[in-house]
Structure 1
Amino acid sequence: MQPMLASVADGVPRGDDWVHEVKWDGMRVLADVHDGRLQLLSRTGRDVSVSFPELAGLATTYDDLLLDGEVVALDRGIPSFSALAERMHVSSPRKAATLATQRPVTFMAFDLLRLFGQDLTSQPWSARRELLERLDLSSSAWQVPPVYDDGEGLFEATRDQGLEGIVSKRRASPYAPGRRSPDWRKSPHRATLSVVIGGWRPETGTTNRLGAVLVGTPDGAGGWEYAGRVGAGLAGTAGARLGKLLEPLSRNASPFTNEVPREDAVGATWTEPRLVVEVQSLGRGSTGKLRQPAYLGIRTDLTPADLHEVTDA
């Protein structure tokens, strides 16, 4: 099963038909518990159970349930995607166990899709939420975050607290697996963006050490529009890891449908646009390029097709 997705709101929905939650800056995960075993599945269907051993105890909570939620890494109480990025790609149980003690994650369970073998996706959100709260899922590694009636108040509060934003949900809405539905609407604060890498430039004074990546966003026609050069955040191991992943993706020409400025293109190694990363910026300038972008981490939970799907929604 794929998770239900939220559409972008053009304003916080008002009225009693809606309820509102904090939008967590993390990794979307379905937690499937059955016969004493736990399987954690990313949005793309990848099994990430090994990456988060501190969540293994969910397997002992109930005999059968399927939860939808977000895995977050909290830094002084605020979710940090860059901190989470260190955990998302780990496939070694030993390394994952070490990271779980150094930088633990929390699973924010916000929906219940199956309980004791009964599919709940056709039930309204309000009924699923009532059952979820009755389960009393609370520990140091997982919790059921609260919901709020006052969406505009929550929107302002999350802005003040430096959180990502809010998600508003229609109380009567069923769960639509794999669909981006207007019954769920997200209102983000932070200027973070998922982009594809289409090329890289070497660090100054070197020929093969990655110093910056050239990134793009969907152009609305199935291609990629150049969005700028990102160098901040790529020092040390972050740049070295990206370099290894990009090496087999090399190609002869730019993958972008618009022209890359000469100052960015000179010395660039072009790559197939297959790797999705998260960046933070001050928005776009008059030329369409990201202003002061900084690299946050690799989005192993997203594919380039996901970015096109969001743009076309």
Structure 2
Amino acid sequence: MSSKRWRMQLPLHVMIWPGLILVLLFCYGPMVGLIIAFQDFVPTNGLFGSEFVGLKHFEYMYSLPQTTEVIRNTLFISVMKIVAGLLAPIATALLLNEIRRESFKRSVQTLIYLPHFLSWVILSGILIEVLSPTNGIVNSLLASMGVEPIFFLGDQSWFPFVMVGTDVWKEFGFGTIVYLAALTSINPSLYEAAVIDGANRWQQTLYITLPGMLPIIVLMLTLSLGNVLNAGFDQIFNLYNPSVYATGDILDTYVYRLAFVNAQFSVATAVGLFKSVISFTLISISYWVAYRFANYRIF
């Protein structure tokens, strides 16, 4: 880069510095703590005063029966969220695209987008009341139809699906906006030509709308692969309980309990590092796939 070009771009670089400093301090600085995974960490001895034990805690982590169970739960819940979180906004965007009354269309978009702005701390309190087996509105409706009350948040078989369903309900409005934006890029003359050829609305959707949305669908799907080990700590931590650990405990909540409940800091760091390495690998693969099939670049 020439000195003249560098001087012209210097103000832009200066604008980046505050954000870069924050990233270094709060994202990369704490990574020094990963050394705990290779130590018999004792808080009173400090970060560098504890005994190094190599891969002892990783071996212990793999020997725990809960580790396999937690990984299985994490993969099941996250994959279900990825699939449902892809299909729901696509279907909603296609339905909204058929609405010709703009005021109604905008109202629906606003209503389905609102839950995205609410934290899981707030939503968990609402869901606990709504799904309560004694006085929740869902079980009241089921009782009116002669169905026995269901303990949605305390039943191991129901809990993972409740997590998937509530997550989709919270986030599908944001995805819908993304796909509606993709629909605006489709050339209207294609629909006009299809009408002349006698295509009905379903055929127009099948042969014009969906192929036109395909690049953004591929992009969103491939980018979501990097989150396959992030099943939603905020959501599950605020909604789970010991009775559903068998099917609802995920890597993030497992790390939390190991560190802050059992005080097994070294083992918790080893589990967290294991997850980070796998996630980094998946993110790298997903970005390569996004570049290969959707022409997506990060710079």
Interval containing the TM-score (normalised by the shorter chain): under 0.3
**TM-score normalised according to structure 2 size:** 0.21
**TM-score normalised according to structure 1 size:** 0.21
Higher RCO, 1 vs 2 (CA within 8 Å, ≥6 residues apart):
2
Greater fraction of residues in strand: 1
